[in-house]
Structure 1
Amino acid sequence: MTDRVTEAFIAAARTPGSALAKLDVGAALGSLGYDYLARPMFFDAAELDRFSADTARTVELIFALPDLLFDGDFARFRDELRIAPEHGRLMERAGAAPPRFGRIDAYHDGETFKILEFNIGSDAGGQDWVGAVPRALLEVAEFAGFAREHELTYTDTFPLVAQLLREAGGPDPVVALVGEPGDTDPGPWTPFRELLREAGFETYFGAITDLSVRGGRVFLGDVRLDVLYRLFLADSLDGDPAAAEIAQALHRTHADGGVVLWTTLESEVFGNKGCLALLNEPRVRRQLSTVDSQLLDRVLPWTRSLAAGDDIGEYLGRREQLILKPNGCFGGRGITAGWEVDEAVWRRALLDAAPGGAVVQERVVPRAEPVYDPATDEITPWEACWGLYHTPSGKFAGGGCRFLPHGSARISAPASGVPIEGRSIFESYRAGIFRYPGGR
């Protein structure tokens, strides 16, 4: 069902001569390097607030898993997720648990939001555009008038992140974005660095191997740092003992209070896809309240763990309704959607993924989102993947949508390298999110 604001937007866009028909923020935001949809996403504010609260509670339950299952033994928790020992050594607990910051990927199935996965930690990107797109739209006079008429608002994630950094590192911390070994510039994080500088942060960039620990403090050259904004992942340190040693030293310094590592590699453990399967397991559900179990049923699709030696008969029989995701992979690597491949490729993917740990998740079909094409005067269905941020406040923290024509998305990136038809989800069009008052 289409919401009233989207219907009003399309009706206005179809009016002859309307500027809403050809909204184009590409020129204003060209430096970010994305493609943008000619309409934003509109959504009921009250429903987004409820879902944000549900998301925050789900994050709390993920962080509670070591206590629920292993009496707080973090090493056993990592082993349960089949995290490689060389990575696990970098993911030791360093003082207090990391902040509950990250981004979920979700679909709305027409009835409710379903969380596909969690990206927990500082390396959850997108903060450069989720506020910039709505701002650019509001520079268009006709859209600004439409926004006033329908009482539209948006939330910029970046100021919330800036506040978190100041709470962690002091009112005027010296910040360094810390990349992988060999990185010489921030790459796609360059716009984020500029946002930090515009917000008044003294901001630098360096590869992890450019840092040194002296006298209980961390330095980039001669610059003493207060906050390290981590961009590197544990697997980016593979085969580089010097980088791994520096990472461990940074974590020790963070634990001792000499620097703030925002966020520690411990975040990767909680962002591991295997956590979603654990939340579905009876041994966890037995310890949860009825309210929490109902919440998880509401926001999570059916998800099960896959390990070496597991019976894959059910998964083979339900191929067209299931998707396979390796536990520790990011950026779509290793994902195989059963409905995109044949039986042989699906079987091979299951068998290959099992030894390293993976999850099998029920397919969520996103609802169709109407998009008006002024060239044809037709309305065509698209689909949206929602990227919504969560912070320790538990309140709606902004986000954006990535759009593709409905049914055209190619999700699979199987390890086998088998070519898959369709359009990559990384070729999507960005759209900002505007909230409208509900109940009228």
Structure 2
Amino acid sequence: MANEPVSALLNAELSRPDSPLRAIDPRQHPVLADLKRARYLSRPLVYPESELRAFGADLLGAVELLTALPKRLFDGDVERTCRALGLDPRKAELVGDFEARSPSRFGRIDAYHDGEALRILEFNVGGSVGGQEWVEPLADMFWADDAFREFGTAHGLHYLKQTKLLAGALRESAAPVTSGHDPVIAMVEGTGGLDLYAEGSWYLLRRLLQAEGLDCRIGEVHELEVTASGVRFQGERVDLVYRLFDLDQVVDDPDAWRTTVRLRDAHRSGQVALWAPLECDLIDNKRFLAYLSDPRLRGHMSQDERDLVDRVLPWTRALVPGAAGLDAVVADCRERREHLILKPDAGFASRGITCGWLVSDEQWADALRRGAAEGAVAQQRVVPREEVAVNVETGLTESWDACLGLYWVPGGLGGGGGRLVHSGEPADSTDRRLAPMFLYPDQGADRH
């Protein structure tokens, strides 16, 4: 499909050898400079605002459905929910009970635009979702360039400031604890987690939140002290714990387990705000997608809810070890090989996926056998529209596939950006680019 008209104008400008837009270098940004291995597209991704706003409304509706599934399907019973999702029963012990009110909405979806509409590939729920360290800085960097800002102003371009929206959501979440003052925030990884994940992400996110005026500390779960008098981190009283660790990081660590349980209880008693509550780790499960998509599993939904899901979510089926009807699901997936992607339940960051259109029948059958034995989700392939961009080094145009990471916060859409690979390459290709996302006003857009 042809690019959006504003994208075409950007490409035309970048095609001019003397265009000042060709000189934009994201590595000049003080935060982006620390992302040593990141590479960037020559232009932002742009979308009509009315489309993004309409999709955002459907996205929030889908998130509400996702959050409601444990109550609708399992009467809010944590143990039953974990059994159905194939989760370690010790996670049910950690979560305890579902909270009376839904936790603050925060997360990121991965989505493709198929040329007609945006389609959700998966939900990532909770504080540990990635990409926040570059989304707003990359958009800021483009907008700070005089030539790009002149172009953007002429065409009404604007963007959602992800870090600012997140900072506002954190203040709101902490408000019952702080009684009006800005929260002191502890960003907490699991034991050893900072060595694994923090260098290119969490420290940069902390810098961005500090730039929004928030007092943020960063460390690991063993540095938390939870007592009857409050929660301290590195010896200082804190109002909000920004949870970067997941339940897998604490189930086998007795000290971290005890601290996590105390933290959970302190949050529920109002001593501290927890971003995000432990139950988010149950919601963040690929099997739940089948409860939204599979006609045999979605009797809990109204027709309007089914229509909403069908607008945004591709055909999705769960391969649940030992489940009734598993052989039929596997047989159906074998027939659909060229149109399906298989994602292991335990996978993340594109790890362990099998693209049916890239493998042989025998390889696909092997992948399905593993998925049926270990747990996996099969999903209809979404073919992304091509995003054309000028390579400013060669002057040639190149085609890219863009996976959009779109965030949501309690107030609505929370910004986003794109991770791109050359068209037709798998999502885990080593040759990837990052791009900010801008919106432009179009007929039907409401800027108020």
TM-score by length of 1: 0.92
Query: Counterpart of 2:61?
Result: 57
CA deviation after TM superposition for structure 1 residue 348, in Å: 2.5
Report the Cα offset of residue 323 of structure 1: 1.2
Aligned-partner residue type, residue 407 of structure 1? G
Question: Which of 37-46 and 77-86 deviates more?
Answer: 77-86
Deviation, structure 1 residue 123: 0.8
Does the alignment pair 1:378 with 2:396? yes
Give the corresponding residue for 2:357. Answer: 339
Query: Does residue 253 of structure 1 match 2:257?
Result: no
Tell whether 2:45 aligns with 1:44: no
Secondary structure of the residue aligned to 1:212 is strand
The runs of 5 or more residues in structure 1 that have no matched partner are 412-422
1:272-299 deviation per Cα after TM superposition (whole angstroms, max 9, x unaligned): 1111111123355434332221111110
Pairing of 1:35-184 with structure 2 (within 5 A):
35-93=39-97, 95=99, 96-170=101-175, 171-183=181-193
**SS at structure 2 position matched to 1:402:** strand
CA distance in structure 1 between the aligned counterparts of 2:193 and 2:390, rounded to whole angstroms: 42
Shift of 1:22: 4.1
Q: What residue is the counterpart of 1:225 in the other structure? A: 238
SS at the partner of 2:28?
Answer: coil
In structure 2, C-alpha distance between the alignment counterparts of 1:216 and 1:333, rounded to whole Å: 43
2:35 to 32, 52, 68: 32
User: What is the Cα deviation at residue 329 of structure 1?
Assistant: 3.0
AA aligned to 1:118 is F
1:430 paired residue among 428, 434, 439 = 434
Distance 1:302 1:393, change over 3 A: same
User: 2 CA distance for matches of 1:168 and 1:81?
Assistant: 28
Cα offset, 1:17, TM superposition: 0.6
> Structure 1 16/345 Cα, relative in aligned 2: closer, same or farther at 3 Å?
closer
After TM superposition, give the deviation of residue 241 of structure 1 in Å. 1.9
Q: 1:415 maps to which residue?
A: none
Structure 1 residue identity aligned to 2:261: Q
Q: Which amino acid aligns with 2:190?
A: E
Percent identity between matched residues is 40
How many angstroms does 1:94 deviate by? 5.6
SS at match of 1:152: coil
Any idea what the Cα deviations from partners look like across 1:345-371, whole Å, max 9, x if unmatched?
A: 322322223344321111111110111
- What is the CA deviation profile of residues 9-41 of structure 1, one whole-angstrom value per residue up to 9, with x for unaligned ones? 112222341112343212222123321111100
Corresponding position: 1:201 with 2:210: no
**Contact 1:326-1:335 within 8 A present in 2 as well:** yes
Any conservation in 1 of the 2:78–2:95 contact (CA below 8 Å)?
no
1: CA distance, partners of 2:127 / 2:334: 36
CA distance in 1, matches of 2:384, 2:377: 20
Deviation at 1:52, TM superposition (A): 0.4
Q: In structure 2, what is the Cα distance between the partners aligned to 1:206 and 1:383?
A: 36
- Answer yes or no: is the 8 Å Cα contact 1:307–1:354 preserved in 2: yes
Does the C-alpha gap of structure 1 residues 329 and 377 become closer, same or farther in structure 2, counting only changes over 3 Å?
Answer: closer
Partners of 1:281 and 1:5 in 2: CA distance: 38
Q: CA RMSD in A?
A: 1.9
Note the C-alpha offset of 1:331. Answer: 2.2
C-alpha contact (below 8 Å) 2:294/2:315 kept by paired residues: no
Superposition deviation, residue 321 in structure 1? 1.4
1:10 corresponds to which residue? 11
Partner of 1:267: 280
Aligned position for 2:382: 364
**CA distance, structure 2, for counterparts of residue 251 and residue 435 of structure 1:** 39
Contact 2:169 2:410 in 1 (8 A): no
Gaps of 5+ in 2: 176-180
SS at match of 2:414: coil
**What is the CA-CA distance between 1:213 and the residue it aligns to?**
1.4
Aligned residues: 426
Contact 2:82–2:91 (Cα < 8 Å) also in 1: no
Report the CA distance shift for 1:384/1:184 in structure 2 as closer, same or farther (over 3 A).
Answer: closer
Moved more, 66-75 or 153-162: 66-75
Between the aligned partners of 1:149 and 1:405, the Cα distance in structure 2 is 30
1:351 counterpart residue number? 369
Higher mean alpha-carbon deviation, 14-23 vs 280-289, is at 280-289
